[in-house]
Structures are given as structure tokens and as C-alpha cells.
Amino acid sequence: MNSIEYFLIIVVALIIIVGLFLDEINKYYDTIKQSIQVKKWEVDMSIKYRELIKYIMSGDSRSRIIQETPNSLTLGVSNADSATLFELIQTEKLTVIWKVNSPEFGEHNQIWHFSEYGDQEKMMAKIINDLESYQRCYLNMVLSKRVDELNYNK
């Protein structure tokens, strides 16, 4: 073998080694890129929806975060007899569930669906408006039932 053949063998070997090295770097880069994408989806619920949570918790000074997982968060007030809870569930959208369980008022719930990155002030305005309407209707129903009972007992 002459020197040109040795040189070509060395060049080909270097090209193969560099190609393998670049392929490994590319795989590593793809892994990092996928990891970054996952982290974007796994932002803590308490951080991602902090404004909405702050609005909800401002309704009662005893409110607290009860449970948090990567895709859900439960907050509100609960004791041995009753609970008023909001559950935030993250899928392709944000689902907010309001649940009340009370010996005096019974069980009630409402559900809302919002865009994942929607305006949290608008979300809260919608929730407040809907809950006010729901509670007004419930109170009217209870009052009319009591009036009917009073009229019946006369």
C-alpha cells in the first residue's frame, strides 16, 4: 500500500468517526428538545393558574390548596361536615369544577371549560357570574318552597 491509500483510509475512517459523533450529538439534542417540550406541559398548576387560584382563595380566608398533581389542583375550604371545593383539571383545556357538600344546603356542583391559556380574570368573572346566578335560582327555589309550605299549613 502506498501513502495515498493510507491517507484515503485515514480520511474515510475520520469521516465515519465524525459522522457517528455528529449522529450522537443529534440524538442528544433531540432528547433535550423533547425534555424541554415536556417541561412546558408540566409547569406546576399552582404557578400556571396562580391568578385564578388567587381569585378563588380570596373568597374565604380559610381557603387552602388541598391537593396538587401535575395535571390537577384542588383548593377550597373543608371541615368534618362540609366542603366548598374548586378542582382545576388540565388536559387540552382547563376544566374547573365547583363542588359544595353541606348538611344545610346539600350537594351542588358546576363545571366550566376554558382555553388552557385563557385570560384568568375572564375565567373568574365567568365563574362568579354563573355561581351568582346558580345561587340566586337555588335560593328562589328554596324560598318559594318554604312559602308553599307556609301556605299549605294555614
Cα 108 off chain centre by: 21
Residue type, position 36, single letter: I
Share of the chain above pLDDT 90, in %: 42
SS3 call for 115? strand
Report whether pLDDT(59) > 90.
no
b/e per residue, 11-50, with b = 16+ CB within 10 A?
eeeeeeeeeeeeeeeeeeeeeeeeeeeeeeeeeebeebbe
Model confidence band, residue 24 (pLDDT cutoffs 50, 70, 90):
confident
State mean pLDDT over 105-131.
Answer: 94
Report whether pLDDT(90) > 60.
yes
| pLDDT value of residue 111 | 97
State pTM to two decimals: 0.67
